[in-house]
Amino acid sequence: MSEASASHAADRRELTAAQRNAVAELLRVSPVADELGRRFAAAGHELHLVGGSVRDALLGRLGNDLDFCTDAHPDETLRIVKGWAEAIWETGREFGTIGCRRDGLLLEITTYRAEAYDQVSRNPVVEYGTSLTDDLRRRDFTVNAMAVSLPEHRFTDPYGGLDDLAAKVIRTPGTPRESFGDDPLRMLRAARFAAQLRFAVHPDVRVAMGEMAADLDRITAERIRDEFTKLLCGADPITGLRLLVDTGLAERFLPELTGLKLTIDEHAQHKDVYEHTLTVVSNAMALESDGCDFVLRMAALMHDAGKPATKAVGSDGRVSFHHHEVVGARLTKARMKAMRYSKDVTAQVTKLVGLHLRFYGYGRGEWTDSAVRRYVTDAGDLLTRLHKLTRSDCTTRNRRKAAALAADYDALEERIARIAAEEDLARVRPDLDGNAIMELLGVPPGPVVGQAWKHLKELRLERGPLDRDEAEAELLRWARDQGVTS
């Protein structure tokens, strides 16, 4: 048997296994799905399980969220599911979608549609379609353009989605330009599926992504954010990130990533920052303990974002990036704000970027216990993530240097644990609270109390816990120096 024939036979065996998976998965949800199909048929309408639901059934990973399409319009769909569904929502009604819940399954039922963007606004113009085949053609990729008709379980695959699923290829039902013209977000979604499913993007699709990258500007920041988050949390985000950069899509919404492709000087006096960054993301993923940690991955991606702006070449030809963590934190905050991430998530990622260099210097024996306390206090509840980010940032190929850095960080973590056992590092606070300060100084609430509190906290960080007499003596000494009279 030739190599090509053997490969084809293997693909067919994979398809057979996929079909067996699909049967098992569909049997699990079929009582509800078939019952719903019979209700639509009784009302004179078609109902088909479609899109990601069919794809995931074939992959043996069908969840509890099911997508259907129908020739019934939303008002008719509502009439069919009322009295049968346990709950109904109409938030997607203007796009032809009615949602409902039954027996623990979440069902979304969408009218056949002919959907396109008007090239001016950022919102889709929805027109209802008339056939299943046309509806499937307007879907993003062939692996999402398969359907199972209900209740008869007839399989429809007009665009070769099953073969593409076996070949692990992302391809569009029609031409890529037609698909991306309908919804430019599909270009970003192609990269996301490459990251999530570990599929290759068909060369024609890749070319169109590069040629039409500017069309992504028509899409709202929120939709881009959601797709990018899924990409970064995929099983293989590095493939997706490379695709974004190579096609120019990253330049449209995350130019800092493209900007990391700095020209390396002739003496190779600094690392390839782009490749280093992708390695740091991979390293960070390896340290995750319970699924995707978006904050950690995003901090890893952005930790060197400030290097292009701070690159300098000294008289000896060596390259430096002084204060790139400060500039990077500022750029990260601005970029995540533009992408409409929440203030809380933005603040966490920004803080990690700003702190990621703090560790360096510890191995030279320069850190006092005070420095360790400040490190822990400044990191706050991000300390565990900071540990992971700092360890991930070590990408040197010099084994001796890598081992030394790892040993230094082990020592720092051990030292943190030792000091934490002696002191409450998780809540470093002054040894006197506001009430005690006011009572001892004889002052009312106001700025003086805050200044005294801050002074005592600095002492706490510098010297560790003080006993009550020491704390009071230090407060009174400060008050005298500041001209505060009791």
Residue-wise pLDDT for 212-238, tens only, equals 999 999 999 999 999 999 999 999 999
Angle at 240 between CA 238 and CA 241, to 5 degrees: 65
User: Which architecture does CATH list for 175-253?
Assistant: Orthogonal Bundle (1.10)
> What pTM was estimated for this model as a whole?
0.79
Same fold, 1-167 and 274-426: no
CA–CA separation, 145 and 479 (whole Å): 74
Residue 8 has a pLDDT of: 43
Q: What's residue 456's pLDDT?
A: 72
Give the architecture-level CATH label for domain 274-426.
Answer: Orthogonal Bundle (1.10)
Encode pLDDT of 318-374 as tens digits. 877 888 999 999 999 999 999 999 999 999 999 999 999 888 766 566 677 777 877
Question: Strand, coil or helix: what is 51?
Answer: coil
Instruction: Look at residue 445 in the predicted model and tell me its pLDDT.
Output: 84
Cα–Cα distance, 279 to 51 (Å, whole number)? 34
CB count within 10 Å of CB 21 equals 17
Bridge partners (DSSP) listed for residue 67? 108
Question: Which residues have a Cβ under 8 Å from the Cβ of 20 and sit 6 or more positions away?
Answer: none
pLDDT recorded at residue 462: 66
DSSP for residue 265: P
- 3-state secondary structure string across 289-355: CCCCCHHHHHHHHHCCCCHHHHCEECCCCCEECCCHHHHHHHHHHHHHHHCCCCHHHHHHHHHHHHH
Please name the helix (run of DSSP H) or strand (run of DSSP E) that holds residue 53, with its range, or none: helix 52-58
Walk along the chain (486 residues) and give the pLDDT tens digit of each residue. 444 444 444 444 455 556 656 655 666 677 899 999 999 999 999 999 999 999 988 887 888 899 999 999 999 999 999 999 999 999 989 889 999 999 999 999 999 987 555 555 545 566 788 899 999 998 999 999 999 999 988 889 999 999 999 899 999 999 999 999 989 999 999 999 999 999 999 999 999 999 999 999 999 999 999 999 999 999 999 999 999 999 999 999 999 999 998 655 444 555 688 999 999 999 999 999 889 999 999 999 999 999 988 888 887 778 778 889 999 999 999 999 999 999 999 999 999 999 998 887 665 666 777 778 778 888 888 999 999 999 999 887 778 877 877 888 888 888 888 777 655 555 556 556 767 777 777 777 878 777 777 777 776 666 666 667 776 777 677 777 777 765
Burial 401-436 (b: 16+ CB within 10 A, else e): eeeebeebbeebeeebeeeeeebebeebebbbeeeb
The whole-number pLDDT of residue 124 equals 58
- pLDDT of the residue at 182: 86
- The answer to whether the CB of 209 falls within 8 A of the CB of 187 is yes
The CA-based dihedral angle spanning residues 26, 30, 36, 40, taken in that order and rounded to the nearest 10 degrees: 60
Annotated domain spans of the chain: 1-167, 175-253, 274-426, 429-482
Architecture of domain 1-167: 2-Layer Sandwich (3.30)
Q: Which of 198, 200, 176 is nearest to 186 (CA)?
A: 176
Let me know the angle formed at the C-alpha of 56 by 52 and 57, rounded to the nearest 5 degrees: 115
Distance of CA 391 to the CA centre of its chain: 20
Residue 9: per-residue pLDDT: 44
Cis preceding-peptide flag for 447 (omega within 30 of 0): no
* Cβ count near 206 (within 10 Å): 20
